[in-house]
Amino acid sequence: MDNLKVMLAAIVVLLLPSVACAGDTGEQVVIGRVVDVIARNIVEIESLTVQDADDQIWEFTTTDYVGVSAGHLRQHQVLGEKIQVTYRKIGGQLNASDVRDAVVVPGNAPSETP
C-alpha cells in the first residue's frame, strides 16, 4: 500500500508542472525529435526545429536561455531521443520558453499537445 502511495505521489509531481504550464498563460507543449538547432551562443539557442509523432514540423525561436544548450539538443538529434518544448505563439512565431528531455514512462508514449 505504501508503494502505491509513493508511486501515485511521484506521478502527481511529474504531471503537476505540465498542468501548471498549460494553464491560462497561453503556453503549449509539443514533444518530438530534434530536426535542427542553431545556437545563438554557447548557452542559448537561436532556433529549434522539431518533428512530432505525426510528422508535423515545428519551428521555434527563443529570446533567452531555455534550459538546455544547442550541444545537448544535437546529442538528442543524433540519438533520436525526444524532447519536450514549452512554447507560446507571439506575433505569428512559436517562441520556446522551456526545452527539456521528454519523460517517457515505460509502457507509455509521451503525450503531445500541439
| Three-state SS annotation for 69-109 | CHHHHHHHHHHCCEEEEEEEEECCEEEEEEEEECCCCCCCC
**Interval 33-84: pLDDT, tens:** 999 999 999 999 999 999 999 999 999 999 999 999 999 999 999 999 999 9
The helix/strand count (H/E) of the chain reads as 2, 5
* CATH number (domain holding residue 93): 2.40.50.140
User: Is residue 21 included in any domain, yes or no?
Assistant: no
At residue 19, the pLDDT reads 46
At residue 2, the pLDDT reads 61
At residue 110, the pLDDT reads 52
At residue 1, the pLDDT reads 57
- β-bridge partners, 37: 48
User: Is residue 17 included in any domain, yes or no?
Assistant: no
pLDDT classification of 20: cutoffs 50, 70, 90: very low
**Interval 79-113: pLDDT, tens:** 999 999 999 999 999 999 999 999 866 665 555 44
* Residue 55 identity (one-letter amino acid): D
Contact criterion met (CB below 8 Å) for 53 and 30: no
For 68-101, letters b (16+ CB in 10 Å) and e give: bbbebbeebbeeeebbbbbbeeeeeebbbbbbee
User: Is residue 2 included in any domain, yes or no?
Assistant: no
The domain of 70 spans: 26-101
User: Is residue 31 included in any domain, yes or no?
Assistant: yes
- The number of folded domains in the chain is 1
Contact criterion met (CB below 8 Å) for 72 and 97: no
